[in-house]
A and B are shown apart, each in its own frame.
Chain A
Amino acid sequence: MAVAVETRPPLRSTGFRPGRLFLLAIPAAFLITFFVSPMVLVALRSGAPGWIASYTNILTSEVYLKVLANSFRTALITTALTVLIGYPYAYATARVTGTLRILLLALVLMPFWSSLLARTFSWLALLQDTGLINQTLIGMGLIDSPLPLVRTQVGVIIAMVHIMLPYFVLPLFAVMVKLDRSFMSAAESLGANAFRRFYRVFLPLSMPGVAAGASLVFILTLGFYITPAILGDPNQAMIGEVIATDLETIGFARASALGIVLLAVTLILFAVFAAARSAYVARSRA
């Protein structure tokens, strides 16, 4: 029966399936060539003059430690602010319907579709001393001298939150829209007020979306290059900039070693994050 064949659930494959293997082979070949092998190359070359020397050079250098700390701090602040303002926005977008929802989604998608570089320069035009924000504030007599919004971490964080918001809002919105509304009705019929319904039912159910969006934002922010290069303080460079500079000035080995250190710290943070998450899930099920 044709219908039965089409609707049966996918079977666990037990035997050898040449067709499936072939399907996997093409992307696998691509990923091995253009992802696995460059990563192996980076790992191998990072110990170029001597494994111990090249890593102790980095881990004992005040400059590199400062840059690493600054990068993770900036990424954390950016992620936290993105979550803080992105969550209510995604919530509002999921709550409304019709034209208003389309408008709110368009406001997220417009920057998402426009060039990263153009938006960064637009922020420069808005934030610098002669820019719109400072000139407006001075014109209104609120401040006497321009606020230091560029060449500082403030400008970098404002622009990065702006660039990262779509990456957070869109996956979270997708999760929120799919949430089963009957849980909320059940909570209401059991006497939970609006705050309790949100805090005890909606928020925990939307947490997978928050986790997915926040980790994406964190990783993308860590690797940022253009935005801190244009808006940031050169003395507070982020690791992406330093790796690029060192690739030019010092060479491939140093850039690779820095990359490996960055990767190691990132993976450790993710392991901690994953452990905390499974502990949270275990506790909420108990």
Chain B
Amino acid sequence: MKIQRRHVALTVVTVVVGVFLILPTLYIIPLSFDASSTLGVPSGRWTTSWYVELFTDRAWARAARNSLQVAVLTTVLATVLGTVLALAFRVKSRINSIANAVTLAPMIVPAVILGVGLYGLLVSWGLGHRAYRAGDSVRGGRGGQQPVAGRPRLREGRGVARRIARASTRQSGATACASGDRGGRVVRVRHQLG
């Protein structure tokens, strides 16, 4: 493609932004084969042991299963509810503007507030760990995929995310100022590196 002169600046910006977008995603590929247990520059010694651990460690398998379960249930629930709503909105009516405001509201409310509320509600029902599904579906229905930030103390919540957080805490020799299992922040990493 021929680039006109007045497009040079645009091309440069686009290339820089493109590299910025893809770099972190690509960078974890060499890191995942690196023998060194610190996060940083690949040491040059390669290994597949992390993958062996990933596929043989039962805790990872359980975490992956949990994540998959949450993802599938959230997707199904959000798709069904979203489709039903879209069908309802097809007919113009006065209720629409109210219903539309209510369905859009979860996007305007910062996730952490909804997280706190759902946590309180579900704990009062004795269902602490169900908060995952409900919280993600409420936001997922409108396409937000931000984790519900206020998901603390979900003891059953051993998702892949938490495993990754824990493993990399261990891996990088950082001290996890871990309310980890007990208090249950998803991750609270205090790095003492470099």
Interface residues of A (CB under 8 A from B): 10-13, 17, 20, 23-24, 26-28, 30-31, 34-39, 41-42, 45, 85-86, 88-89, 91-93, 96, 100, 104, 107-108, 110-111, 114-119, 121-126, 128-132, 135, 146, 150-151, 162, 165, 194, 216, 219-220, 222-226, 229-230, 234, 239-240, 243-245, 247-248, 252, 255-256, 259-260, 262-263, 266-267, 270
Contacts and interface: CB of A to CB of B under 8 A. Distances in A.
B112 A239 contact: yes
> In the complex, which range does the number of interface residues on chain B fall in?
35 or more
Contacts of B120: 38, 41-42, 45, 252, 256
Contact of B194 (A11, A28, A129, A267): A129
B136 to A, nearest CB: 10
A162 B99 contact: no
A12 B97 CA distance: 13
Nearest to B177: A234
25 contacts: A11-B92, A24-B88, A24-B99, A27-B85, A35-B105, A35-B114, A91-B10, A96-B1, A100-B1, A107-B21, A111-B21, A129-B194, A131-B39, A146-B194, A165-B20, A220-B111, A220-B144, A224-B149, A225-B112, A229-B185, A239-B110, A240-B149, A243-B112, A243-B149, A259-B113
A256 to B, nearest CB: 6
A225 to B, nearest CB: 3
B93 interface: yes
B6 to A, nearest CB: 6
Contacts of B23: 126
Contact of B168 (A36, A121, A256): A121
Report, nearest first, the 7 A-B pairs whose CB atoms are least far apart. A38-B117, A129-B194, A225-B149, A223-B110, A259-B113, A122-B24, A23-B88
B116 to A, nearest CB: 5
Interface string B172-194: 00000001000111111111011
B13 A117 contact: no
Contacts of B70: none
B152 A248 contact: yes
B70 to A, nearest CB: 13
Given A39-B109, A110-B25, A248-B152, A130 B92 contact: no
B158 interface: no
Contacts of B52: none
Interface of B: 1, 6, 10-11, 13-14, 17-18, 20-25, 27-28, 31, 38-41, 81-82, 84-85, 87-88, 90-93, 95, 99, 102-103, 105-114, 116-121, 134-135, 137-138, 141, 144, 146-147, 149-150, 152-153, 160-161, 164-165, 168, 179, 183-191, 193-194
A216 B118 CA distance: 22
A232 B24 CA distance: 17
Contact of A266 (B91, B110, B141): B110
A104 B110 contact: no
Contact of A89 (B14, B106, B114): B14
Given A128-B39, A130-B194, A223-B149, A229 B25 contact: no
A124 B39 contact: yes
B31 A226 contact: no
A135 B24 contact: no
Contacts of A129: 193-194
A219 B52 CA distance: 40
Nearest to B118: A38
A20 B93 contact: yes
Contacts of A255: 116, 150
A244 B108 CA distance: 19
Contacts of B84: 23, 26-27
B191 A128 contact: yes
A45 B41 CA distance: 48
A122 B168 CA distance: 11
